[in-house]
């Protein structure tokens, strides 16, 4: 795409996801993710039903009537978006590729964070860190993140979730809200997830295509692995081959769900032809 096409696509995604974050997600996001603590806001006169433990005795003595301290939540947070840009994300049999849904979800989360005046950062990863944008505030910063999600061309097509989590733990010293968006066709990331989840509030968002769940019976088919580039002649007419593939796929899904659960991290799974809005809202409400 040339610059004009990229800007047009950025604008299209901004309009769609901004509307979602403004009217649907911002309130849910605000209540789902807590701030760092409570800070003093003001004092006011005591009212019936107020907690007597909040009485400010110095002010009460000065004015000879009870006053209480009012605290408010310290809201400023940091959101880190981690998006898988490996070869398998460029797969799609419906109206959209997985990577397009990843971009929309990331953009929606970014605008929701902006509504709360939070910082947003981005990590694009394959089996290496492809791009790191440090957390900042502002609309222009969010638009840059969306542009990178749309046009970035990764150096590698492979996936290594553990490597991405290790980088996250090293680069962010303070607690952050982390959305790790991938198809999670990966393994051996439990150890690094456990370390990262002790410090950060992590949610794994699994994006998948319905054709990935089962192998269709199409006879002999040349299949190319999007991550390794290896091409094999596969007999999809064999029931055994189809069952082995389905087991391989379900094992990856099971590993994702159980690993995130054991590490105290949240999970959302959304198919490319489903409403990720409904899935995310359900997740926020469950928190």
For the stretch 245-278, pLDDT in tens is 899 999 999 999 999 999 999 999 999 988 888 8
Share of the chain above pLDDT 90, in %: 41
Tokens representing residue 93 in the block: 């049999």
Highest CATH level, class, for 3-30+75-286: alpha beta
Higher local confidence (pLDDT), 8 or 27: 8
Quote the Cα angle for 123-124-125, to 5°.
110
Per-residue burial over 82-116, b = 16 or more CB atoms within 10 Å of its CB, e = otherwise: bbbbbbbbebbeeeebbbbbbbbbbbbbbbbbbeb
Output the CA–CA distances (angstroms, integers) from residue 25 to 39, 74, 247, 265, in the order listed.
25, 20, 36, 20
Structure confidence at residue 24 as a pLDDT band (50, 70, 90): low
Structure confidence at residue 88 as a pLDDT band (50, 70, 90): confident
pLDDT at residue 94 in the model: 59
In this predicted model, what pLDDT tens digit does every residue of 39-48 receive, in sequence order? 556 788 888 8
The C-alpha atoms of residue 239 and residue 215 are separated, in whole angstroms, by 10
For all residues of the chain together, what is the average pLDDT? 85
Spans of all domains in the chain: 3-30+75-286, 38-73
Give the strand pairing for 231-235 and 220-224.
antiparallel
Q: Would you say the C-alpha torsion 256, 257, 260, 266 has a positive or negative sign?
A: positive
DSSP-based three-state secondary structure for 220:
strand
The whole model's pTM is what? 0.78
Mean pLDDT of 96-109: 88
């Amino acid at each position: 795409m040339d610059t004009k096409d990229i800007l047009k696509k950025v604008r299209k995604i901004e309009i769609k996801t901004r509307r979602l974050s403004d009217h649907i997600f911002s309130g849910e996001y605000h209540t789902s993710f807590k701030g760092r603590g409570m800070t003093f806001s003001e004092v006011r006169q005591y009212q019936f039903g107020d907690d007597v433990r909040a009485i400010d005795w110095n002010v009460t003595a000065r004015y000879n009537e009870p006053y209480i301290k009012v605290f408010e939540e310290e809201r400023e947070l940091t959101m880190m978006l981690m998006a898988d840009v490996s070869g398998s994300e460029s797969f799609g049999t419906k109206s959209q590729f997985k990577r397009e849904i990843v971009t929309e979800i990331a953009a929606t989360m970014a605008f929701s964070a902006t509504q709360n005046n939070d910082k947003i950062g981005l990590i694009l990863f394959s089996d290496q860190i492809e791009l790191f944008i440090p957390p900042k505030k502002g609309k222009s910063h969010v638009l840059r993140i969306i542009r990178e999600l749309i046009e970035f061309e990764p150096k590698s097509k492979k996936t290594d979730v553990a490597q991405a989590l290790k980088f996250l733990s090293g680069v962010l010293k303070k607690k952050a809200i982390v959305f790790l968006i991938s198809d999670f066709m990966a393994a051996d990331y439990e150890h690094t997830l456990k370390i990262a989840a002790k410090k950060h509030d992590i949610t794994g968002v699994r994006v998948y295509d319905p054709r990935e769940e089962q192998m269709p019976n199409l006879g002999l088919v040349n299949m190319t692995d999007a991550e390794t580039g290896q091409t094999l002649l596969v007999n999809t007419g064999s029931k055994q081959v189809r069952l082995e593939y389905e087991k391989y796929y379900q094992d990856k899904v099971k590993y994702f769900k159980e690993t995130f659960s054991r590490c105290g991290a949240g999970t959302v799974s959304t198919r490319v032809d489903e409403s990720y809005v409904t899935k995310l809202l359900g997740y926020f409400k469950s928190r």
